[in-house]
Amino acid sequence: MSKRSLLILGTRTLAVEVADLISEMPGVEVAAFVENMDKSRCDELLEGLPVLWIDSLSAYSDTHAAVCALATTHRSRFTDQAAALGVRFATLVHPSARVSARSSLAEGTIVSAGVIVATHTRIGRHAFIGRGALIGHHTDIGDHVTILPGANIAGKCRVGDAAYIGMGAIVIDNITIGSHSIVGAGAVVTRDVPANVQVVGVPARIVKENISGK
């Protein structure tokens, strides 16, 4: 059976990590990486594969799907570019992850090795869920959210669009994280976090305001 050909939007280290994850997923294979900022990167192979310039993607729209492998929550700029060229997006779940059949993953989302997503949870478009992250039941994760390895988001939480949850952070149950906010690595969130702020510490406290994700 032929494998589905994928394009990885991005050429930095996370793109290489995602390519490795895909190598362990049945039915899919990486055909190329895609660059949208530094055209000179298209002159060399990455992991033995070609690097395509963003403007060429319309030629692949009927035959390939894509995922975006940028850790920044501003990756919406890249996914919007690709979508405007007719590119469709895949949703990827590593075989070692466990996603409840009663939960949903939107297009473009990547669920890494060892992740657990509990029941009745919704994860939006182009989310990146890092290794070993835990997401509780009846939780809502917005579009372009980044959840880094080891983060633990409890049940009945809401994480707004383009929020960034740092490595090892803990979000207790019934908490809302506002859109474009950053939860620092190792923080313990015990109360709602408004939009466009950065919180750190135990318990988490606001240290920066008027930000737009990371």
Residues annotated as part of the active site? 137
Work out the burial of residue 35: count CB atoms within 10 Å of its CB; fewer than 13 is exposed, 13-18 middle, 19 or more buried. buried
| Residues recorded for the chain | 214
Please check whether residue 136 is in contact with residue 151, taking contact to mean a CB–CB distance below 8 angstroms. Answer: no
Tell me which residue of 128, 168, 174 sits closest to 147, measured CA to CA. Answer: 128
DSSP the chain: -PPEEEEEEB-SHHHHHHHHHHTTSTTEEEEEEEESS-GGGGGS-BTTB-EEEGGGGGGGTTT-EEEE--SSGGGHHHHHHHHHTT-EE--EE-TT-EE-TTSEE-TT-EE-TT-EE-TT-EE-TT-EE-TT-EE-TT-EE-TT-EE-TT-EE-TT-EE-TT-EE-TT-EE-TT-EE-TT-EE-TT-EE-S-B-TTEEEETTTTEEEEES----
